[in-house]
Amino acid sequence: MSQVERMGGFFAENRLHPVINAAGNMTVLGASLANEETVAAAVDILGYFVEMPELQRRASEVISEVCSAEAGCVTACAAAGISIAVAAAITGGDIAQIENLPDTTGLKNQIIIQRGHNCHFSGAIDQMIRLPGADIVEIGAINRATADQLAAALGLHTAAALYVVSHQTAQTGMIGLAEFSRICKASGVPVIVDAAAEYNLKYFLAQGADLVLYSAHKYLCGLTAGIIAGRKDLVRACYLQEQGIGRAMKAGKESVASTIAALERWSQLDHDAIEARNLSRATAARSRLKDIDGVTTWLEADPTGSPVSRVRLRIDASVTGIAAEPLRRLLAHGTPAIYLRKHDTDPCSLLIDPGTVTDQEMKQVTNRITHVLNTPAAIAAAKDIQLPPGENLTHWPGPPPRMTPADGDPNVATASTQERSLK
Ligand SMILES: *Cc1c(COP(=O)(O)O)cnc(C)c1O
């Protein structure tokens, strides 16, 4: 039985609901489609014992190469990376202090963050920072921070500053990373960048960051893991956290091996070809949606500079009879569940991400949107629709409410939707 058939079989055997993910690399939807090479590397090493520090040493070499960093290590995920990097900034390489966290008595334990960066990525950055015992010092307002505020906040108790690069943060009014790093460096304060979902693996260190964090399971298509890259002494202090709080956040051999494979693959990928493929998929989707009354579409560049353009749907609810968020929820309650992207504070629009769907799935997405918006019964039923089942944890372990849209869905699918090839 092929890998692809096994995937479909697993969905059927375990009664899992088929998903079309047009939202991008969301951890809550299973992050990404693991690539064949990254899966093979994990399967291969699972049959062997290995000295983990040696495996992590090799990971450090590969991370250094691909990220232009002095060193690197692999942890459970990027969220873990935030807590571990903060812990490292507090304890350095002192094992006694590492084992004593979250007690930070006598240590610098303040982490500075711009208020507009203190976001929720479906986990609160604030909590990841506080987990190892740090105190947060916010500067500025949610939409504005200045260099003077940063300089004034740096003090005797500052352990590090965290800079978040994400579509979830304020996109204007924040201090740029180069300036942020320069000001921190002048006071000897390390800068940690959360770039979990970013595409460029070199840019943030080049802008002056001391440590940068990436998810191995987002653009990189690896197994679930987090990558920490940067200054050697700080990366070492990160890895040594495995003797402390990092023990609860460690990556197993399969994750480290798959991350090595994912990075090696990444450095050989034809990124222009991927961008072109995504662009043509997005362009085709846009042209299929252009004649719906009340919906305006355009292609929109990624707000943080990743090379992907998404289809923006601006929805005039006075014409369509349904606003953007109820429409998003309705699509996610169908079969297959279709997830669109919606993260910003704009209540009037949604995005379709071309990077996490096949051409065929993209057609299902646009068919379904067209169908729903042309079906008054579906729109009427959507008024009080609840959170998408994939975002609703409150009923667990029972199933969340899953409304079956009474609209004669044109592409009701079975688990066979999942039978797709790995990229
Ligand atoms: C996805 C994301 C995270 C968490 O990444 P995981 O690897 O899933 O823990 C953290 N920060 C930002 C900005 C993210 O987008």
pLDDT of residue 419: 43
**Is the separation of the CB atoms in 349 and 312 below 8 Å?**
yes
What is the residue with the minimal CA distance to atom 11 of ligand 1? 196
Q: Which atom of ligand 1 is nearest to the CA of 128?
A: 10
Residue-wise pLDDT for 90-139, tens only, equals 999 999 999 999 999 999 999 999 999 999 998 999 999 999 999 999 99
Ligand 1 centroid vs 1 CA: distance in angstroms? 34
Is the pLDDT at 423 greater than 80? The verdict is no
Encoded tokens for 272: 């222009």
Ligand 1 centroid vs 215 CA: distance in angstroms? 6
C-alpha distances out from residue 108 to 179, 266, 354, Å:
23, 37, 44
Give the amino acid at 98: I
Residue to mutate, 25, 120, 126, 166, ligand 1, most ligand atoms under 8 Å from C-beta: 166
C-alpha distances out from residue 145 to 113, 116, 139, 165, 303, Å:
10, 8, 6, 15, 19
H helices present in 131-167, as ranges: 147-153
Residue-wise pLDDT for 12-62, tens only, equals 889 899 999 999 998 889 999 999 999 999 999 999 999 999 999 999 999
Residues with CB under 6 A from ligand 1: 27, 77-79, 121, 164, 166, 168, 194, 196-197, 215, 226
Distance of CA 144 to the CA centre of its chain: 24
Cis peptide before 102 (omega within 30 of 0): yes
Q: Which atom of ligand 1 is nearest to the CA of 224?
A: 7
Cis peptide before 336 (omega within 30 of 0): yes
Ligand 1 centroid vs 233 CA: distance in angstroms? 24
Encoded tokens for 379: 């729109």
Q: Which atom of ligand 1 is nearest to the CA of 25?
A: 1
Q: Alpha-carbon distance 192 to 127, whole Å? A: 16
Ligand 1 centroid vs 328 CA: distance in angstroms? 22
Q: Which atom of ligand 1 is nearest to the CA of 168?
A: 13
Q: At what angle do helices 52-67 and 253-268 cross, to 10 degrees?
A: 20
Is the pLDDT at 312 greater than 90? The verdict is yes
Chain position carrying tokens 């009080």: 384
Residue to mutate, 21, 27, 212, ligand 1, most ligand atoms under 8 Å from C-beta: 27
CB-hemisphere CA count at 13 Å for 165?
Answer: 30
Any residues with CB less than 8 A from the CB of 178 and at least 6 apart, and which? 207, 208
What is the residue with the minimal CA distance to atom 14 of ligand 1? 196
- Has this prediction a pTM greater than 0.85? yes
**Residue 350's beta-bridge partner residues?**
313
